[in-house]
Amino acid sequence: MELALNSLPFLWDGLMTTLQVSFLVVVLALAAGVVLGVGVTYGTAVVYWPIRLYSDFMRGIPILVLMFFVYYGFPVIGLNLDSFWAAVVAMAAFKTAHVIEIVRGAVQSIAIGQTDAGKAIGLTFVQRLVYVIFPQAARRFLPPWINAVTEAVKGTSLISLIGVVDLMLAVQKVIGRTYEPMPLYIMGAIIYFLINYNLSSLSRMLERRFSYIRE
Amino acid sequence: MTETSKEPIVQIRGLGKSFGDLRVLDGIDLDIHRGTVVSIIGPSGSGKTTLLRCINLLETYDEGSLKVDGVEVGYQDSGNGARRPRGDRELAGIRADIGMVFQMFNLFPHLTAAENVMLGLRKVRRKSRDEARAIAEDWLAVVGLTDKLDSLPLQLSGGQQQRVGIARAVAMDPKLLLLDEITSALDPELVGEVLAVVRKLADEGMTMIVVTHEMAFAREISDAVLFIDGGRIQVAGPPREVLVDPTHERLKGFLSRLNPEHNWENAQ
């Protein structure tokens, strides 16, 4: 136990990297996913099909394959990303596909009458989304989205495989020097758990805030 | 309400719409003059709600022309006879001047009664928060909901919700108000309070098109009644002619099915 506590300073940088990658992935995937999710819900065929194909393809391949593809494959076409950014790009692209589906589900759950009412008072498309649809869809969006965020945080442990020193790789490096795997793996697990437990608590709090819709 | 023009506020010529093989609207011609109330009656599936929803383009139309205040609603005329669908902003501008009240109320559930009325005033009419609030309070007072300003829709009865729906529509100061079976989803004892508000608007000269199943009400407030069946206007005329003394066979059948005990021949 003492060993695990003593190792904390060595894990700190790794934890920071994990949090940075998680944050970037979550923000990028949210921004892209909301735009593409709206596109797939309301778009004409020209907009719908490319997004549909993207989403289905991304959700159909393992994240590790995608990450190796970006890290080892992109240089072939002249795009050299260092391991940190390759990890961020691959994971964000992957997560975006999930956010697209969550947005689509949440937006489609809002009754068509809401759109009619928004149109009838003269709101434009964007105004209807911002003032009518999104505030109501938020409640449907949040639980699966927070779930996706925790998946993303856990998923970042895979970026150690392309050499990014995240929490996972930091744990392994300490193990490499101390030959004490158990306390350190437990320590690592506890840190991942604490991050995600806090996210889930946040999710429950937000759900209560958005509970004005009759089910 | 000032009469700005003798030109009809709504001019419909040869309006047609199909869902696949089904002709929902089939050659509708209709003029509606400013300050008048026109009721549309007809069996379900007759096309009456579709016609109403075409007027603010909640439904598109395939053929013909539909002008509100001289402006073609569905299409931009490009001069050479080609028709191009209107863009989002143009359409929003046209719709802002046409109020609509819905069968299922369609209030925004995340906003209070006052905020429901304020949304269009703030975001479409660009009024300040205080100004919008003052207008909302005025209109909610007109519909008798001064004590419910800050209630959420789910805290209101159906009749109260529908009165908020009316306030939301008229607060925009529309040229025209469309009412789509606004009492059909209400418990019978709540119908009266909603109709009383509509009666008040009619008395103040609001131009209204009313799709309804309330025949007595249609007779009372309308300047003209249209009977639609099979996507066509079958009968049009003053309420007395259409509702009290019908000669058209399908209209007679429709009216007697609505109210079998009523003797339409002798109704005054």
List the domain boundaries for chain A.
2-209
Q: What CA–CA distance (Å, rounded) separates A19 from A166?
A: 9
Contact yes or no for A117 and B154 at CB 8 A: no
- Torsion over CA of B259, B261, B263 and B264, rounded to 10 degrees? 0
Q: Does B102 touch chain A (CB under 8 A)?
A: yes
Residue A109 contacts B, CB cutoff 8 Å: no
Question: Which residues have CB under 8 Å from A91's CB, separation 6+?
Answer: A21, A25, A29, A63, A67, A152, A155, A156, A159
Query: For residues A209 and A1, which has the higher predicted lDDT (pLDDT)?
Result: A209
Query: What's the CATH code, domain B7-97+177-193+207-268?
Result: 3.40.50.300
Distance CA A13, CA A71 (A): 22
How many helices and strands, by DSSP H and E, does chain B display? 9, 12
Contact A51/B at CB under 8 A: no
ipTM, interface predicted TM-score of the complex? 0.91
* Domain residue spans of chain B: 7-97+177-193+207-268, 105-173
- pTM, to two decimals: 0.87
Q: Kindly state the average pLDDT of the residues A46-71.
A: 95
A124 at the B interface (CB within 8 A)? yes
A116 touches chain B (CB under 8 A): yes
Set of chain A residues whose Cβ sits within 8 Å of the Cβ of B107: 117
Q: What is the pLDDT of residue B267?
A: 47
pLDDT score for B1: 45
A114/B108 touch (CB, cutoff 8 Å), yes or no = yes
CATH number of A2-209: 1.10.3720.10
Comparing CB atoms, the residue among A121, A125, A213 nearest residue B172 is: A121
Higher pLDDT, A99 or A74: A99
In the block, tokens 């390759």 appear at A86
Cβ-defined contact of A123 to B120 (cutoff 8 Å): yes
Better pLDDT: A161 or B2: A161
Inter-chain contact A121–B98, Cβ cutoff 8 Å? no
Query: Which pLDDT value is given to residue A166?
Result: 87
Residue B38 sits at φ, ψ, to 5 deg, of -120, 125
